[in-house]
Structures are given as structure tokens and as C-alpha cells.
Amino acid sequence: MRLESAPFLALALACSGVASAQNFNYPDFSSTAGLTLNGNAAPSGSALRVSSAVISDKGSAFQTLPVSVAGGFDTTIEFLITGQVSGGADGLAFVIHNDPRGPTALGDHAAVMGYGVFMGGAAGIAIANSLVVELDTYFGGMWGDFNDNHISIHTLGTAENSASENFSIGWVVPAINMSDSQVHKLRVRYVPGTLEVYLDDVVNPAISTPYDFSTGGNYVGGGSVGGLNLNAGTSAYVGFTAAAGGVWENHDVLSWDWTSGAACPPAATYCTTLISSSGCVPSIGSTGSASLANPAAFVVSGSNLEDNKNGLVFFGTTGQNNAPFFGGTLCVLAPLYRLPVQNSQGAGSCTGTISNSLVDFLNHPSGGSAVVAGATVQSQVWYRDPQAALTVGLSNGLEFTICP
């Protein structure tokens, strides 16, 4: 076990070692400051290799100090699974816990992915008092797995967690092969009362399930489960586990961004989109939290646009609008501020996208001065649609509040 101090946090920790809100960002893992690495977890180049393509390997990596989860959080992780032997196994897990072992927690290897315990194993091995998002790449029949490529959210409340699908509160078999040696993106978002999991598409959740850290949720197969016993009632250790058994693969985390805190409410869509000449339904969404502490982590994106057309995001700070505009609806009240023109790129109808981070809003020469803590911002996407009657496309609107 290796312990590294000096947590990589953007906000100062309270004297107790527990904070009400934190933001941290690892664009890569050339430094693992702020993480406790356990088992065989270790840096591998600029990546964090949680477990390696070695028989019966396992590892875990957690933030050394707990971070706030109860008030809401939004986290995005880039991961890469490579080096499969005999199909590869067993998977990577994102773990939130308040196990007695704190940041040194580590479970068994093989199909329990570094957080659970084999059947008949000793008490105290599995990570207790936890919520786990499995990226499961092995078909473990004894655990009730759906196949060798699924995402599942597991909890046993304050008891030791289990890889059995009897204890799943939400699952999906994605169309994407998570162990195809390609970089994939996992987003996990919690708004008190709802837990969402996204894979690659960070606008539309693959799983959205009712859950609350205080009251718990319901198992997919029936029955309820309680919540967690959090540190100071608000916080938990967050990080990753991974493992292999008789077949194996590398489980790498390439980047990790985290934003938590109740002061930053989730963005919300409103207004009506304009269907394009090809039948595309443009939509605007966001990832991350609109915090001035880490503005690069909040990204506003337009998707389902006509491909290879110029477009832009525009915004205002005076309120929502609902006025006729170029055959669609103008969702933003004047004055309007335009961000730089972009090409939507894409490869086929409705595959175009454009995006801007909060940094771009803050740097706008006229509107940036209004993007301050406490301000509410309305935004919308405009793009060229030459085949449309008025040659213009419009998305719906997105409203978000700036937090410190």
C-alpha cells in the first residue's frame, strides 16, 4: 500500500478533514497526489492502472480524504481497458464508501472486481457501507451477471457490498463494448433523490434510478435497501477498484474530474427545439458543474445537429424567453452574447456537435462580466441549416446557475 498526501483539491478542507464541497481534477495521473493507492494500483505512464493484465491482480485508489456526496456531485472519468487474455476480465468499478478502512479499503480479486468478497470468504474483506458502479467485463454466472459487458449499480446499504446482481439498483447492457481497447467516458451524476450513469454519451443517461444517500433505494429485482452512513453525515471516500482472476486485462483511468456541493444546482433544459430539414432534433446539455472554482470542467454542448455546418452557442443573463425566431423559438432574453463560431463536424445527418466550457462564457468581452457567482445563465445553440426554409437551426434552451 502506498499513501500519498497533499490532496489535489481546489477548495480548502475544513479542520475536521471533511469538507462540504470540493472540486478536483486529474487531467492525467503524472501526479497521484491526494490519492491512496492499494494492492497493485500504480501509475502507468500518465494513466492510473488500477489493476494489470496479470493473473489474480487487484487494486484500489481512493481520495485520501472524504469529499462531499450527500448534497450532489458530478464526476467524469476517462478509462481504457486493454491487454485482454482469453477475452479479458473482470472489470473496473467506481466506488463511494465509508468503510472502516477508509482510503485503504480493498476487496477480493476476480469477478468481485476489488470491492466484493468471494462466496464463503471472510467478513471484513468486501467494502462495506458503499455504493458501487460496476463496469463489468466478465460473465460471472454465479453472480447472476447479464453478460460480459454491462454496467450495474450495487449497494447493500451499510453492510458489506456484493457483486451479486441481486443487489443492483440499476443496470444496463450498453451497445458499446467497454473493453474494446478504446478510450471511453463514464459520467456519474447525483442530484439528491436521483443517481445517473452515462457512458460516452454524457448528455443522455444510460441509467437513471431513484436513490438517496440517506434513505436508499430499491433493487431492480424487488425489495428496498437503506442508504449509507456517511462521514459527518455528508461525505465519503471516492475512487476506483479493479481486478482480474484466471483471465485478465489492464484497467486504466486516464483522467478524472469531480465537482460536489449543494451550492451548485444542476442545469436544466427548457423551451422548444426546431427540428432540422433532415429531421434532426437538436438538443443542448451540459456536463460538470458550473463552478468558478473549476470553470473548464463545465461544458455546454449542442448535439444531434446537421453535420459539418457552422454554428455557435449564444447566451444571456436576464432570463428565459419564448419568442418566435427564424421559424423556431428564441429561448434567451436580450442582450444576447455570441460565443465563437465552430464547425459541427460529424459524419452523417444528425451527428454534428459543438461545445464550449464555462471558460468561454467568462472570457466573452461583453457578456463575461455578468457571469458571476449567483448569476443565472440561459444558453442556446444556433447553426446553419441550408435546406431549411430560413436556413437556420435552433436547439432548445439550457439554464444554469453559477456557483463559487
pLDDT tens digits along 68-105 = 999 888 899 999 999 888 777 789 999 999 999 999 99
Q: Are 240 and 63 in contact (CB under 8 A)?
A: no
Domain count of the fold of the chain: 2
Alpha helices in 177-258 (DSSP H): none
Whether residues 58 and 174 share a domain: the answer is yes
Q: How far apart are CA 228 and CA 69, in angstroms?
A: 11
Say if pTM beats, i.e. exceeds, 0.75: no
Q: How far apart are CA 298 and CA 306, in angstroms?
A: 24
Strand 42-44 and strand 47-51: pairing?
antiparallel
Q: DSSP per residue over 223-283, as a string?
A: -EE-----BTTTEEEEEEEEE-SSSEEEEEEEEEEEEE-TTSPPPEEES-----TT----E
Q: How far apart are CA 96 and CA 238, in angstroms?
A: 5
Query: If pLDDT is split at 50, 70 and 90, which confidence band does 124 have?
Result: confident
Beta strands in 86-234 (DSSP E): 91-97, 130-136, 150-155, 168-172, 184-191, 193-199, 207-212, 216-218, 224-225
Q: Are 171 and 165 in contact (CB under 8 A)?
A: yes
* Boundary (domain end) residue, out of 233, 260, 287: 260
Element (H, E) at 239: strand 235-243
pLDDT of residue 142: 72
Q: How far apart are CA 56 and CA 34, in angstroms?
A: 27
CATH number, domain of 296, equals 2.60.40.10
Please, what is the Cα angle at 236 between 214 and 194, to 5 degrees? 45
Whether residues 114 and 223 share a domain: the answer is yes
Domain range for 159 is 2-260
* Boundary (domain end) residue, out of 260, 288, 317: 260
pLDDT of residue 146: 78
Whether residues 116 and 206 share a domain: the answer is yes
CB-count exposure of residue 286 (10 Å: 0-12, 13-18, 19+):
buried
Q: How far apart are CA 252 and CA 197, in angstroms?
A: 19
Task: Give me the sign of the Cα torsion angle 5, 9, 15, 16.
Answer: negative
Q: Which residues contact 223 (CB under 8 A, 6 or more apart)?
A: none
Please, what is the Cα angle at 202 between 197 and 206, to 5 degrees? 40
Whether residues 14 and 117 share a domain: the answer is yes
Whether residues 252 and 290 share a domain: the answer is no
In 3-state terms, the chain is what percent helix, strand and coil (to 5)? 5, 45, 50
Whether residues 172 and 273 share a domain: the answer is no
* Boundary (domain end) residue, out of 206, 241, 260: 260
The cell numbers describing 184, all together, are 471511453
Whether residues 300 and 236 share a domain: the answer is no
The pLDDT of 250-270, averaged and rounded, is 85
- CA atoms in the 13 A half-sphere facing the CB of 243: 23
pLDDT of residue 261: 63
pLDDT of residue 388: 93
Whether residues 100 and 218 share a domain: the answer is yes
The pLDDT of 325-351, averaged and rounded, is 95
Strand 193-199 and strand 150-155: pairing?
unpaired
Whether residues 116 and 180 share a domain: the answer is yes
Whether residues 300 and 216 share a domain: the answer is no
Whether residues 325 and 223 share a domain: the answer is no
Whether residues 9 and 102 share a domain: the answer is yes
Q: How far apart are CA 404 and CA 397, in angstroms?
A: 23
Query: If pLDDT is split at 50, 70 and 90, which confidence band does 21 have?
Result: very low
Out of 103-107, 134-138, 328-332, pick the least confident. Answer: 134-138
Query: If pLDDT is split at 50, 70 and 90, which confidence band does 349 have?
Result: confident
Strand 268-270 and strand 392-401: pairing?
antiparallel
Element (H, E) at 338: strand 337-338
Q: How far apart are CA 380 and CA 333, in angstroms?
A: 11
Task: Give me the sign of the Cα torsion angle 380, 386, 388, 391.
Answer: positive
CATH number, domain of 37, equals 2.60.120.200
Q: How far apart are CA 229 and CA 236, in angstroms?
A: 9
Q: Are 182 and 84 in contact (CB under 8 A)?
A: no
Q: Which of 145, 59, 49 is nearest to 106 (CA)?
A: 59
